[in-house]
Chains A and B, each alone.
Chain A
Amino acid sequence: MTHIPVLIPAPLLLAAFLVPLAGMLHKGLAAAVALAGSAAAAAFAVLGLGKVIAEGPLHYELGNWPPPVGIEYILDPLSAFMAVVVTVTGFLSLVYFRPSARHEIPDRFVTGHAVALLLLAGLSGMVVTGDLFNLFVFLEIASLSAYALVAIGDKQAPVAAFRYLILGSLGGSFYVLGVGFLYFATGSLNMADVAERLAPIYHSRAVIAAAVLIAVAMALKMALFPLHLWLPDAYTYAPSAVAGLIAPIMTKVAAYVLIRVFLGVFQPSFAIDHIPLLPAISWLAAAGIIFGSVMAIAQQDLRRMLAYSSVSQIAYVGLGLGMANPLGLVGALLHVANHAFMKACLFFVAGSLRYRTGSVRISDLAGMGRKMPWTFAAFTVAALSMIGIPPAAGFFSKWYLLLGALEVGNGWFVAAILLSSLLNAAYFFRGLEDLYAKPGGKEDESRVAEAPVGMLMPTLLLAVGILVLGLLNSLIVTEMLMPVASGMYQR
């Protein structure tokens, strides 16, 4: 039996407990432990993905208890793909975390690292677990860590964190309630087992109630419009290091749970025919794509603009899922990876800007393109990718989503996808114009240096990653996503 599935969350969890101890000796040591743990998790995830592609799914029985009694960890192409996205992006975020946290939240440097690791452990646990209740445990670990991390930000951060906590806990409770109903109906918590037992009782009211509860819970957690209310404040007022950690991956994992549950545990036909959950998600997502983009245009604060942009972008994932066809799902999953890289890169830049100038207002970007050339070169790449300019990664998410929308023959979805690119261009080019075309403002004479190496390197790596993801997307799609997507719809 291979141990790889459990070896993805384990180093993160272990490091989370070691970091405070190391921090008593030396702060630098704490950061080093955190990085080591996160690097190990990423390495195992990549290793696992290779093994899964070569040999097929990996199963791990926790404590040697066979399922359905014991908890099972599964690395199949879908979870392996997600695990790589979460851990690799998480690792880069932790690299960035150190210099940014030292500057912005020096008092919480060690605890910040520990809680960040807990967050990553929770997220990667959600991805690899094959057990519905175990998923809840990891969900709560991740969520509580996120509330705590947001709360150590600016003056308004505690309020934002409190709002996040209330809505997030509501989501958590809905989820556990839904899982409870499923447990009453089937007597099992193992996903594969539940899937088998559910099929004959799709018409049961308890099952339908469970499905609705889980769908609402995850829509809340993934900030699907109109349940996105917690997100803009949380991303805006969180410390830069935290925003760079949460924004790229947190909501995506909730979207992953939706995919797992409604295309894996339930058969796809359930959420289309028995109760139209997937269509509902797709229409809300189409509305959210436009809403988020329009709101982003109205913002003056760079972080808030990026936050609303996230509301729009996570809706791309929802749209691809809700279309209920393989091409749409490929687009959704590819966008999970693409957007993780893009949004991490953009929030890193926002953090670096704050680090050097103390301001994150869009109007203060004027002339920064010359002062921090590398940082804003990365920003430019990420922004063009968000608009969907080929060959950057963002273009290809749109490409597959569009193909999916044409396949279902829904003109509204097509319109939403195309209009959103134009709206994205509207808010990103506002920034780009300031950066490069306008001369610097009042502080033009002041010397602003390039971001420190520890922040610059991960930013640039992500920018390069955006281009690599774009050029290599076909490899990812044919090797991983297309088999996953067609497999899920062929059952």
Chain B
Amino acid sequence: MEFVLASRPLLAVSVSLLAAILIVVCGRWPNLREGWTLLAAVTKFGLVFSLLGDVLGGRTPGVTLFEVSPGIALALRVDALGISFALSASLLWILTSVYSIGYMRSLGEDHQTRYFASFAICLSSTIGIAFAANLLTFLIFYEMLTIATYPLVVHKGTAEALAAGRKYLVYLLTGGGALLLAVAWVRHIAPTLDFQPGGILPNTTGATELALLLILFVIAVGVKAGLMPLHSWLPAAMVAPTPVSALLHAVAVVKAGVFGFARVTGFVFGADMLQRSGVINPVAALAAATILLASLLAMAQDNLKRRLAYSTIGHLSYIILGIVLVTPDAWRGGLFHIITHAAMKITLFFCAGAIYAKTHRENISELDGIGKQMPVTLGAFGVASLGLAGVPPMGGFLSKWFLAGGTLAAEQPALLAVLIISGLLNAGYLFPIVYRAFFRRSDQFTKFAEASPLMLVPLCLTALLSVGLGIFPDAFFHWFSLASETAMSVLQDTVK
């Protein structure tokens, strides 16, 4: 394959790092400061989008910077898997930035400079993770993301926020330690750390070693991906401002976990080694258990954001399940679910934030009749809920359809049952919210009063996106083709 040298991948990563500096420098002038955020978001998306053509044309643009350890360079490489994640994160960052401005200003939050700067660093790290060409580069950005998210989790500075921050660090740094050990271990046994479709581990690696290594990686990325029992930081982190929950705890950070899982299984292990490790069935079982338990726990939450957090935990495990099934359809469905879930879940969080900003209500039991006051917001909420439950023609249906096909191809009907039950449970914990909002009457919400357009427009757009993904899965961004291409490149041997 032609290796196109271009600095665009590097610019795509660093533009928001530069913006973070400008944001801090211009902290005294809020409009200018937010200008940098928006400019960086649009530029970043433009750069990522410009790379899409190359990837679809069969090229993998990349840039090798300098060695960070003898023989291992800090290197970026844009392939189908990476660009699809980068596209979703950078596209949604534009909307989240607009939303953030509306949200933070309408609530008069403190520390806005730190907030926007941290956000920008998070996005640089996310794109770095997406484009990392080798394990060490991946590790560097993965840890940067962990640290850059911390200030956003503790943003409010309350005792609750600090406790959530500590919990977050304990979980995430433990995962980081597992990742460091795993990467050093691969370095110890493999000739290279560069990701290659089909894996890099030598054929001589023993089954026990493979199993231990895979377990380490599962811990490392499972923490970010909320795989049970490593999930409990995520509901606690809902104390963060809602835009953080929306972009980072539904799209960037947690998806970096599942993305990392796809990267490691497909490009470090490869299908053969995964099978030989003998631990993919336990991981699949863990993912299935996470899907069901998280959905059940979601039902028990009255706090809207916490309910959504548990829902996220469940949906992340859809993706993990798809990956460990190691069939082309399951990979396709799993990878596509990264995108569809992003669009749907960010919509739900945007709605939750709009409700909070307007009414200061966080609990579902206090939302009776709110549909009268905020019909557009709750309408969007309803659309996204349908998608999460997997109702056609939403995007969520499509990813689930392929996941279901994957379970059958892998001859795991029990897992198909898990997916079906989970769809019902999703409906069970999301539809009642819509029902309460529109069909219960309350005298508190009588007048039409939506949140600021800065919040309303983004959430309508993401709702539209989650419908669009189901009807035109390949429009504009070719997400579905990218997922297919990744699945084929990783699993080409098993397909034959």
Contacts and interface: CB of A to CB of B under 8 A. Distances in A.
Interface of A: 384, 387-391, 395-396, 398-400, 402-403, 406-407, 414, 418, 421-422, 425, 429, 433, 436-439, 471, 473-475, 477-478, 482
23 contacts: A389-B147, A390-B139, A390-B143, A391-B68, A391-B144, A399-B184, A400-B69, A403-B184, A403-B187, A406-B185, A406-B188, A421-B180, A422-B170, A433-B166, A436-B151, A437-B151, A437-B157, A438-B157, A473-B68, A474-B67, A474-B69, A474-B70, A478-B70
Contact of A422 (B143, B165, B177, B188): B177
B483 to A, nearest CB: 30
A429 B153 CA distance: 14
A85 B13 CA distance: 33
Contacts of B184: 399, 402-403, 406
A387 B147 CA distance: 11
Given A437-B151, A437-B157, 14 more contacts: A388-B180, A389-B143, A389-B144, A390-B139, A391-B144, A395-B143, A402-B180, A403-B188, A418-B177, A418-B180, A433-B166, A437-B161, A438-B157, A478-B67
A396 B144 contact: no
Contacts of B162: 433, 437-438
B177 A473 contact: no
For chain A, what secondary structure do more than half of its interface residues adopt (helix, strand, loop), or is it mixed? helix
A48 B189 CA distance: 38
A109 B400 CA distance: 74
A391 B161 CA distance: 27
A389 B184 CA distance: 15
Nearest to A424: B173
A332 B16 CA distance: 35
A477 B72 CA distance: 12
B169 A425 contact: yes
B285 to A, nearest CB: 27
A390 B140 contact: yes
Given A414-B181, A437-B161, A399 B144 contact: no
Contacts of B170: 422
Nearest to A401: B184
Contacts of A482: 70
A474 B66 contact: yes
B396 to A, nearest CB: 36
For chain B, what secondary structure do more than half of its interface residues adopt (helix, strand, loop), or is it mixed? helix
A421 B173 contact: yes
B442 interface: no
B157 A396 contact: no
Contacts of A390: 139-140, 143-144
B444 interface: no
Contacts of A437: 151, 154, 157, 161-162, 165
Contacts of A475: 67
Interface residues of B, number: 32
Q: Which interface residue of A400, A422, A437, A474 has the most chain B CB atoms within 10 A? A: A437
Given A402-B184, A471-B68, A433 B165 contact: yes
Contact of B169 (A403, A429, A438, A439): A429
Given A391-B140, A421-B177, A437-B162, A407 B70 contact: no
Contacts of B72: 474
Contacts of B139: 390
A422 B174 CA distance: 7
A402 to B, nearest CB: 4
B68 A429 contact: no
Interface in B174-207: 174, 176-177, 180-181, 184-185, 187-188
A61 to B, nearest CB: 36
B182 to A, nearest CB: 11
A97 B161 CA distance: 39
Nearest to A477: B70
Contacts of B146: 389
Nearest to A400: B69
B174 A474 contact: no
A26 to B, nearest CB: 40
A407 B66 contact: no
A188 to B, nearest CB: 37
B10 to A, nearest CB: 14
Contacts of A400: 69
B35 to A, nearest CB: 22
Contact of A418 (B143, B165, B169, B181): B181
A391 B143 CA distance: 9
B60 to A, nearest CB: 24
A399 B139 CA distance: 11
- What are the nearest 5 A-B pairs in CB distance? A474-B67, A390-B140, A418-B177, A437-B154, A402-B184
Contacts of B161: 437
Contacts of B188: 403, 406-407
Contact of B173 (A402, A406, A425, A471): A425
Given A403-B188, A406-B185, A398 B180 contact: yes
Contacts of B151: 436-437
Nearest to A429: B169
Contacts of B66: 471, 474
Interface in B131-147: 139-140, 143-144, 146-147
A402 B180 CA distance: 9
Nearest to B170: A422
Contacts of B143: 389-390, 395
A197 B181 CA distance: 43
A402 B181 contact: yes
A384 B169 CA distance: 13
B69 A396 contact: yes
Contacts of B181: 402, 414, 418
Contacts of A418: 177, 180-181
B147 A473 contact: no
Contact of B154 (A389, A399, A425, A433): A433
Interface string B90-123: 0000000000000000000000001000000000
Contacts of A422: 170, 173-174, 177
Nearest to B141: A390
Nearest to A482: B70
Contacts of B140: 390-391, 395
A384 B187 CA distance: 24
A407 B189 CA distance: 10
A437 B111 CA distance: 10
A387 B144 CA distance: 12
A429 B166 contact: yes
A137 B174 CA distance: 46
Nearest to A409: B188
A406 B216 CA distance: 15
Contacts of A389: 143-144, 146-147
A363 to B, nearest CB: 14
A388 B188 CA distance: 20
Contacts of A407: 188
A478 B73 CA distance: 13
A478 to B, nearest CB: 5
Nearest to B142: A390
Contacts of A414: 181
A391 B169 CA distance: 18
B173 A439 contact: no
Nearest to B110: A439
Contacts of B165: 433, 437
A331 B85 CA distance: 35
A478 B147 CA distance: 29
Contacts of B114: 436
A384 B174 contact: no
B473 to A, nearest CB: 36
B208 to A, nearest CB: 14
A436 B157 CA distance: 8
A384 B147 contact: yes
A439 B157 contact: yes
Contacts of B147: 384, 389
Contacts of A388: 180
A390 B95 CA distance: 30
A150 to B, nearest CB: 35
